[in-house]
Amino acid sequence: MKKKVGFIGWRGMVGSVLMDRMKREKDFNNIDSIFFSTSQIGLKSPNFSSVNTLQDAYDIDILRSMDVIVSCQGGEYTSKVYYKLRDTAWNGYWIDAASTLRMINESVIVLDPINLHVINSALENNVKTFVGGNCTVSLMLMAIGGLFSHNLIKWILFSTYQAASGAGSKHIIELLQQMGYLYNSISIDLKNPISSSILDIERKISFSIKDNSFPKKNFLAPLAGNVLPWIDLESDNFQTKEEWKVQAEANKILNTNNIIPIDGTCVRVGTIRCHSQSFVIKLKKDISYDSIIHIIKNNNPWVRIIPNDYQSTINFLTPIAISGTLDIAVGRIRQLTHLGSEFLSVFTVGDQLLWGAAEPLRRVLKILINR
């Protein structure tokens, strides 16, 4: 009998990417899918659904009848519903994109190309709660998973270049509005750039970015023409929560015995949906450059090693090149010989909505329904 899988938050940005991937991989053929809503109960479900109308996402009785629940609805929904449901002794699988349950003992953070062994042993131990990791963490592990699996990493220092999509769909719209606002303020000058002084154009841009009407309701600051070196709330030790998550979640995903130290600065930049990251990695030993490339490349089928030259880098190691694909570009790989050959520098780019959010959920759902 097919498993009954309930979807919540399937029309949001991550949910929509998940739906697209599941349709493309024909995953819906293998499940009975039931679609829930928090606001449009009773309206028509997608045509491939097993039930014609959208079900109430707060109706615990209907939720209880699911074998698996997949939520991309966000942390607030998870907090309201998850424990209520578990309190009824519901023993189904809960798969979640939100961070709420990531660090609780009863959950596993899923990224099966990296931690299938952890997922499998959790399933044997009757774990029922599976949560997608933070996008920068998942994308980091997909990129340099080989160095982790070969136990080569002493510590990592990172800088991230995180896209607007990580903050949400409204933020992408706002970034584009900001770009449009700036363009409109100088579009006449750009039509005749020879007669316009670049310093005049720059001055107009700097003025308009400070206009009261400049759109920044969501980011609370300009992102177009700017970078914002702060993501999420304040945490301890002068870190942001986003920075805190990297070491905490990566070590939980890998189920390490000894914590691998990972720290750095998370920065929002004006890209749309791909997160980039720069790493300085202290290796445990000095190994050859060719071995490093071999280890990184062979960790999983999605890694694309980008040759360390100008043309390859600007064509293939960028958010524009990777956007909408499952590729994980890994480039600028070099040993920092001025510091010592056990110091390695790597730059990576991955799609924040695919490997950073929807894909690990789709894949763990497949693992669960095939059991």
Query: Does position 178 bind ligand HSE by CB under 6 A?
Result: no
C-alpha to C-alpha distance for 59 and 5, rounded to whole angstroms: 15
The residue assigned the tokens 């679609």 is 35
Rounded least distance, CB 242 to ligand HSE, Å: 5
What backbone torsions phi and psi does residue 127 show, to the nearest 5 degrees?
Answer: -70, 140
Q: Does 231 bind ligand HSE (CB under 6 A)?
A: yes
Q: Is residue 143 a contact residue for ligand HSE (CB under 6 A)?
A: no
**Binding to ligand HSE in span 238-257, by CB under 6 A:** 242
For the chain, the farthest-separated pair of C-alpha atoms sits apart, in whole angstroms, at 74
Q: Which two tokens stand for residue 168?
A: 């949400």
Query: Of the residues 171, 266, 274, 275, which is catalytic?
Result: 275
Kindly tell me which residue out of 63, 81, 101, 167 binds ligand HSE, with binding defined by CB under 6 A. Answer: 167
CB of 170 to ligand HSE, least distance (A): 13
3-state secondary structure of 304: strand
Tokens matching residue 193: 């750039």
Asked if 266 is an active-site residue, the reply is: no
> What is the edge-to-edge ordering of all strands in the sheet holding 107-110?
55-56, 31-37, 3-8, 68-71, 93-96, 129-132, 107-110
Between the alpha carbon of residue 365 and those of residues 55, 96, 190, 362, the distances in Å are 20, 10, 51, 5
- 174 touches ligand HSE by CB under 6 A: no
Spatial CB neighbours of 19, under 8 Å, sequence gap ≥ 6: 7, 10, 46
Q: Is residue 122 within the footprint of ligand HSE (CB under 6 A)?
A: no
At 77, list the tokens.
Answer: 């929904």
Q: Which of 9, 92, 166, 319 binds ligand HSE (CB under 6 A)?
A: 166
Rank residues 37 and 218 by Cβ distance to ligand HSE and give the closer one: 218
55, 100, 115, 134: residue in contact with ligand HSE (rule CB under 6 A) = 134
Q: Does 223 participate in binding ligand HSE (rule CB under 6 A)? A: no
66/72 with CB nearer ligand HSE:
72
DSSP letters along 71-138, please? E-S-HHHHHHHHHHHHHTT--SEEEESSSTTTTSTTEEEE-HHHHHHHHHHHHHTT--EEEEPPHHHH
- Closest contact distance (angstroms) between CB of 185 and ligand HSE is 28
Between CA 54 and CA 39 the distance in angstroms is 10
Q: Which of 72, 135, 266, 274 is catalytic?
A: 135
Binding test (CB under 6 A) with ligand HSE, winner from 55, 162, 178, 247: 162
- Strands, E assignment, 226-311: 262-265, 274-283, 303-305
Q: Which residues between 270 and 329 bind ligand HSE (CB under 6 A)?
A: none
Stretch that binds ligand HSE, among 65-73, 143-151, 160-168, 199-207 (CB under 6 A): 160-168
| Of 178 and 277, CB closest to ligand HSE | 277
Residue 100 binding ligand HSE, by CB under 6 A? no
Task: Please report whether residue 267 would count as binding ligand HSE according to CB under 6 A.
Answer: no
Instruction: Count interface residues toward ligand HSE (CB under 6 A).
Output: 7
Identify which of residues 156 and 167 has a Cβ nearer to ligand HSE in the complex: 167
Judged by CB, which is closer to ligand HSE: 113, or 133? Answer: 133
Pick the closer one to ligand HSE by CB: 135 or 281.
135
Alpha carbons 300 and 145: distance in angstroms, whole number: 8
The residue nearest ligand HSE at its CB is 166
275 is catalytic: yes
CA dist 214 and 217 (Å) reads 9
Residues recognised as catalytic = 135, 275
Q: Rule CB under 6 A: which residues touch ligand HSE? A: 134-135, 162, 166-167, 231, 242
